[in-house]
A and B are shown apart, each in its own frame.
Chain A
Amino acid sequence: MSGSPHHLEADLSIVAGQFVAVVGPSRSGKSLIIELAAGLVRPEAGRVMLLGQDWSHAAEREESPLRIRVGTVLQQPGLLSNMTVFNNVLLPLRYHRGAMPDRDRAQVVMAELERLGLGALRDRFPAELNHGEVRRAAIARALILDPEVLLLDDPVAGLDAELVVVLKRYLEARRARHALTIVAALRASSPFMEDVDRLLVLRDGRVVADGTREAVLGAVSDTLRMYVA
């Protein structure tokens, strides 16, 4: 499979409920895996199947029902700049769950923001937030519809060590409540590695190691071990 701006050749299948981390150097194809899985990039050859549906040939109208089941946070999270944090997180609920009472929706959003330590920032606009706060708000927005799959591109960028742990616990709690498949592209080793069921190591658009953290640690070169250890 290839897509702009990188090239990727991979044959992967991910079991529902797994937490899969994709690691490797810059431009190794980590973000491309996320973009392919999110249906933002179409493969030149091959297929991308997600939740039993073929992303590769889905028309835009067919995308919407599938997208509700998939939460995605890209490197640039794209919070809507003219909406507060609260309204950003509320938007998918308002759009897709129009029948839900306003009060219930507000409660769900506030609970999500509190869990991510964003309760006090509910009325701030994205321009008033730091990088880590924007990222956490985007994760809250991606998870507000209780998707079955969560795709994260560099989820810990801009987060300090404490907040990485907050996010880690938050995702652990989400996974404990109901099955959530997570695919996360990570640029460096982080506490997330402790929770990972499977690790994919990429280099130059190819998978060079695939397995549990322990198995991968023994299978990769010293250079790539830095991303895993």
Chain B
Amino acid sequence: MIEWVGRKTIAGYAYLASLATLFTQAVLDLVLPTQQGRRDTLWVIVRQVLFTGVDALPVTTVIALLLGIIIVTQAGTQLPRLGAGGLVGGIIVVTVVRELGPLITAFIVVGRSGTAIAAELGNMSVTREVVALRLMGISISRFVIMPRMVGMVLSMLCLTLYFDVVAVLGGYLVADAQLTIPFYAFVESITKALSTTDVVMTAIKALSFGSAVAAVCCYHGLAVRSSFTEVPQQTTRAVINSFVLCLLIDVAVTVPLYV
């Protein structure tokens, strides 16, 4: 038993070290000046932003609106019973802007784009496209990993901020239609509850989640070796590990700041 725990712990650290190496190399490729493949890399970033960010707008809109409606409906019906009806805005800020916005956006991105990245890189590995790139002297980190990471981080940041705004809007729709809270009062309660720290922390979470998801999904995609049956296996691992890592990062950011 102890041996098993020890083995798993070492494997866990080795996994995190591999992710950190992959992430660091991608950051170095981003910041170190070079002329090699700049246009191709930029093009991959643009495609990644279009796929991860722009194409995800409809589903993000629907989920954010529904979440805003659910939260404000619950808060708006329960809080007045406790004499705390004025806290509706605060509830939106605490639940959506601080926590659920970044997390649910990360889950959307993992489900849509993380899986796509893992499966794409997995298929590229099996068909020896990754080896072919290496043989052409094309850096896998610069040409494959870094642009996907940059595209995903940028998309995650924008989608998270968009999610927060749309969720608040969804909340207002309920507040206005069912709870008869006037627009002015609703906005005032939110602006009172919202601090600069909340916005900065949301952005930090979005950037961290984006980096983590991209690193995990690229790692698992490139971990595929010789069989197409490995592709769904690694994709599933990428999804589960991305969720766990996002939650760990969330705890690591939230607890020191708000407890």
Contact = CB atoms under 8 A, between A and B. Distances in A.
A78 B39 contact: no
Given A76-B128, A79-B129, A81-B127, A91 B135 contact: no
B170 to A, nearest CB: 37
A36 B44 CA distance: 31
Contacts of B133: 78, 80
B137 interface: yes
Contact of A78 (B35, B38, B127, B137): B127
- Name the interface size band of chain A: 20 to 34
* Secondary structure dominating the interface of B: helix
Interface size class of B (residues with CB under 8 A): 20 to 34
A130 B180 CA distance: 67
A32 interface: no
B39 A94 contact: yes
A77 B123 CA distance: 14
Nearest to A65: B137
Nearest to A80: B129
A92 B137 contact: yes
Given A95-B37, A98-B37, A76 B135 contact: no
Interface in A47-103: 60, 63-68, 70, 72, 74, 76-81, 91-92, 94-96, 98-99
B104 to A, nearest CB: 30
Interface string A135-152: 000100110000000000
Contacts of A96: 36-37, 137
A78 B131 contact: yes
Interface string B22-47: 00000000000001111110000000
B129 A74 contact: no
Interface of B: 35-40, 123-124, 127-139, 143
